[in-house]
Structure 1
Amino acid sequence: MERSNGAWSPPRAFHMFCIRHIESNFLRKFKAPYLQKLVVNIGYSRTVREFEVRYQRLRERGEAYTDWLNRIPREQYALAFDGGYRWGHMTTNLVECINSVLKGARNLPVTALVKATFYRLNELFTRKRAEAEARINAGHVFSDVVTSKLHANRLASGNIQVSCFDRQNEVFEVDRIPCRHVFACCANQRLDWQVYVHDVYKMDQVRRVYRARFRPLGNPTTWPAYNGPRFIPNPFLRRLGKGRPRTTRFLNEMDTRMLRRPRRCTLCGAEGHSRGRCRQHGRANASGEH
């Protein structure tokens, strides 16, 4: 990034933090899973007042929490101070939305995994491109994705951020999100709405996202010969045919279950098992039946 000659610097790019990683670092530091939701809500605060209310709520739990949060610039993790440059996205990896498309393909063999990924993404891009073309031909301006997200976040109702509003002097100021208030103000003042709405929300931009074409995979017999190293599968990683499959995901501090105390039996008071698997449970039943 330092050798990019300013290509990754403002105004071309802005450095923001992923709220999930902030939550992860907070759990690693304090081991307080009951506060992780509050920290995330602080980052999602869209107004300064909402941010201050949640920030004060966290401070009442302990100043050590807010002191740690103060080390992070507010404009890099909170929507209320980001200047609108992250467009409401609070996570770093925007391709997380593809997880639902590839669900069920991650445990397939390599060849089947490649084919499933190819055909599922091909179907997704074909369908989205057709929807964008249809909406453009119908005269629609914005995409269904953006519209649904606006309604989901309630941006068109209660959480819209209005900086200035004066009906008498006909002065108003709203953000760059294409809500109904922008069109109402533009219609009242006979202004061109395209000046006040960013191009990222327009359907032609959505169409450009899905304009990529997929080349067929072809018959595997026509693929070039592979002369690289040969890999030998690990027999211990073979998936068992019976029983519950063993998870292969690496656990971290986001798994709050690992932060809890060991399971304690309510019958004998020992750790490591529950009441149903306690040895004294069978004795108690036997004595009760007797």
Structure 2
Amino acid sequence: MSRFKSAEGKRYLMNAAYNPSKARYEWYMDALRGLLHEMADWVNRFNKKIWLQYCDSGHRFGHVITNLSECINAVLKGTLYLPISAIIRCTYERLQQLFVRKGREAQVQMAASNQFSQWLLAAVEKNREGIPTMRVTHSDRRASVFVLEELEPFDGWSQGSLCVWLSVGACDCGLFQSLHFPCRHALAACAAASVE
């Protein structure tokens, strides 16, 4: 941010970094190269596993490292000018409260016989809404491989054809691998697999 002052270049770079799809990453980097060639060259010097979501093999569950740092900053909020011992005590107490709250939430969900969290169920339900906007063009049920075609652009993108490998939990969009739960393409493939 201090080296390059282009707001549009920063936007392309952020979109490239956060994208779980290699194809979309390349599109944003090509756009960045067209806008600020030196910025694209500068960023390519860094290890891709550190700053690209599509290169992290799903280890961060869809988060980029700076977001995880911001979570810790939220825990430390208001402790900037305290002595070290007070910061440690404050951090301990806040984390203790967080763990107690999250533990109670988990107990309530388990008592209600919920196998999955409410957040996950809501995300899967939202992904399920996209099933009617896709068509399966090829299916190999034995190998659990499906090729889907987007009938309508999603989030301004027309991805065309995407391949989904249900048995290994992978999709060309990259979200299935990154988030570790079925993307909308995988749910459409599951729907197609259950038909017949």
TM-score higher than 0.5 here? yes
Match of 1:41 in 2: 15
Give ranges in structure 1 of 5+ residues lacking alignment.
1-23, 191-290
Among candidates 52, 68, 79, match of residue 78 of structure 1: 52
Q: Calculate percent identity across the aligned residue pairs.
A: 30
Deviation at 1:114, TM superposition (A): 4.5
Equivalence for 2:32: 58
- Residue identity opposite 2:58 in structure 1: G
Structure 2 vs 1, CA of residues 166 and 81 (structure 1 numbering), >3 Å: closer, same or farther?
farther
**Aligned with residue 116 of structure 2, among 139, 142, 148:** 142
Larger Rg: 1
1:123 and 2:126 matched? no
Code of the aligned partner of 1:49:
A
What is the count of residue pairs matched by the alignment? Answer: 156
CA drift at 1:88: 1.4
**Closer, same or farther: CA 137–166 of 1 in aligned 2, 3 Å:** farther
Alignment of 1:230-249 (within 5 A): none
Structure 1 residues 178 and 102 mapped into 2: Cα distance closer, same or farther (>3 Å)? same
Question: Which structure 2 segments of 5+ residues have no match?
Answer: 147-164, 166-170
- 1:100 maps onto 2:103 in alignment: no
1:32 aligns with 2:5: yes
Flag the structure with higher strand content: 2
Q: TM-score, normalised by structure 1?
A: 0.42
Give 1:112 shift: 4.9
Offset of 1:140 from its aligned partner? 2.2
* RMSD of equivalent CA atoms: 3.8
Alignment equivalent of 2:181, drawn from 171, 178, 181? 178
Does structure 2 retain, via aligned residues, the 8 Å contact 1:45–1:80?
yes
Deviates more, 1:43-52 or 1:102-111: 102-111
Q: 1:43 corresponds to which letter in structure 2? A: A
Question: Any conservation in 1 of the 2:76–2:87 contact (CA below 8 Å)?
Answer: no
Q: Is the 8 A contact 2:127 2:183 kept in 1?
A: no
Contact 1:156 1:179 in 2 (8 A): no
Q: Give the distance between the partners of 1:76 and 1:84, measured in 2 at CA.
A: 12
Q: 1:112 and 1:37 mapped to 2: Cα distance?
A: 38
Once the two structures are superposed, residues 68-119 of structure 1 have per-residue CA deviations (whole angstroms, 9 ceiling, x without a partner) of: 2333354543223443333212116835313323422333456654443333
In the superposition, the TM-score normalised over structure 2's length comes to: 0.57
- Find the counterpart in structure 2 of residue 132 from structure 1: 106
